[in-house]
Amino acid sequence: MLTSKKIVVCVTGGIAVYKAVALVSKLTQAGADVKVIMTRSAMEFVQPLSFQVMSRNDVYVDTFDEKDSSVIAHINLADWADLVIVAPATANVIGKLANGIADDMVTTTLLATTAKVWIAPAMNVHMYDNAAVKRNIARLSEDGYSFIEPSEGFLACGYVGKGRLEEPENIVKLVEDYFSPKDLPLKGQKVVVTAGPTRERIDPVRFLTNFSSGKMGYAMAEAAANLGADTVLISGPVSIDAPSNVTFVSVESAQGMYDAVVAQFDTASIVIKTAAVADYKPKVVQAQKMKKQPGEATIALERTTDILAELGTRKTNQLLIGFAAETNDVVHYAKGKLEKKNADYIIANDVTEAGSGFGTDTNSVTLVGHNGVEMHFPHLTKKELALQLLQTIIQLEKDGRK
């Protein structure tokens, strides 16, 4: 979530310094590039090496200890940062900052930065309540600094009250929220995507399936999540990893996929059925492995439920998007499915085309929609195509066309 975000953590001297180690570790694990500046008092509690190991970066303490002669460290760090967090912030550093004092590496960097600065105080309850500290906090708030309020609880000094450094995981959540884009088009919407094949068991060792790799469906789920949707990916058995930003539901058969989709349907805004669902399943699943017999064998099949068609009869406000894997008259058949399944869009996939359809990393499709939309998308990677398809559909819906 924080990949490529540059965060400076200023650590000042209080017992909560040990929590700052956890904060730096969690920010780094979330993908941020973290650089730590410590005051000399902070070093009384924890050695710089702990922060160096957690951040995998040099730790800065002395303004005059220039590690790189081509730059001035405190200006360089101040310019580099996307966000500066002072944690724990002592009454002393709050007082210095409120009065424009810059007498060490932490305070010179704080005065030099134009990045957003968050201050997370941690101190004794009476110190936090002290009039001078309150005055300094009020002044810094007026100057545009933000505060992460301390929480209440047992303090190291033996008191119970307000003054504990906010828990590192809560600070990380605030940071993630700060950096998460606010104007994504699918924010607040739930998108359900199905992907992959289904398996229809014949006996304990055999099944009917198809060549779907899940790549197209997984790309649709990732694109929906990247556009801000709360995304649920319901997948048949595949050998690729689910995107990290979706809720993953694993299913095996058409019936399992039906149950999983229906369970999500009422709260969904958009359902995208990329899965290649079996149309038929064995009428009887043999309890024992079938033995070979001389001559031909016949397996009686029966229809599975058409999940998309079923959703088409149930839909209220949901936008229903299906795919259609075709080998001929692609657009003609896709339009038929649009009508028959009461879908809003069908993405028609000519699976005979080179570089398209099952298993490939690329695809080329035609989007057909109610009210006559028919748009061709030439070969693109499945990831790029997924994003373009969703952005197009979002725009079409915005324009009031389908």
- Interface residues toward ligand PMT, by CB under 6 A: 212-217, 254, 273-277, 279, 304, 306-308, 322-325, 337, 349, 351, 357-359
Q: How far is the CB of 279 from ligand PMT (least distance, A)?
A: 5
Nearer to ligand PMT, 83 or 386 (CB): 386
Return the H-helix or E-strand segment holding 49.
helix 48-55
Kindly tell me which of 152 and 302 has the beta carbon lying closer to ligand PMT: 302
Nearer to ligand PMT, 150 or 217 (CB): 217
Question: Closest distance between ligand PMT and the C-beta of residue 336, in Å?
Answer: 10
In the sheet where 190-195 sits, what is the strand order? Answer: 247-250, 230-235, 190-195, 270-273, 319-326, 345-350, 362-369, 374-381
Task: Closer to ligand PMT by CB, 69 or 313: give it.
Answer: 313
Residue with Cβ nearer ligand PMT (54 or 325): 325
The torsion of the CA quartet 167, 170, 172, 177, rounded to 10 degrees, works out to -160
**Active-site residue, from 157, 205, 284, 290:** 157
Query: Taking a C-beta distance cutoff of 8 angstroms, is the pair 271, 192 a contact?
Result: yes
Return d(Cα 120, Cα 324) in angstroms, integer: 54
At residue 192, the 3 state secondary structure works out as strand
Beta strands in 251-344 (DSSP E): 270-273, 280-282, 301-303, 319-326
Q: Which residues of 368-377 are buried (b: 16+ CB within 10 A; e: fewer)?
A: bbeeeeeeeb
Minimum CB distance to ligand PMT, residue 397 (Å) = 19
| Distance of closest approach, residue 216 Cβ to ligand PMT, in angstroms | 3
Distance, CA of 145 to CA of 173 (rounded, Å): 19
Is 157 tagged catalytic? yes
Nearer to ligand PMT, 147 or 358 (CB): 358
Partners of 162 in beta bridges: 152
Instruction: Tell which residue, 317, 374, 316, has the closest CA to residue 345.
Output: 374
Tell me phi and psi for residue 234, to 5 degrees. Answer: -105, 115
Which distant-in-sequence residues (6+ apart) come within 8 Å of 13 by Cβ?
39, 40, 41, 42, 43, 44, 45, 90, 92
Q: Which of 179, 150, 180 is nearest to 167 (CA)?
A: 150
List the catalytic residues.
157
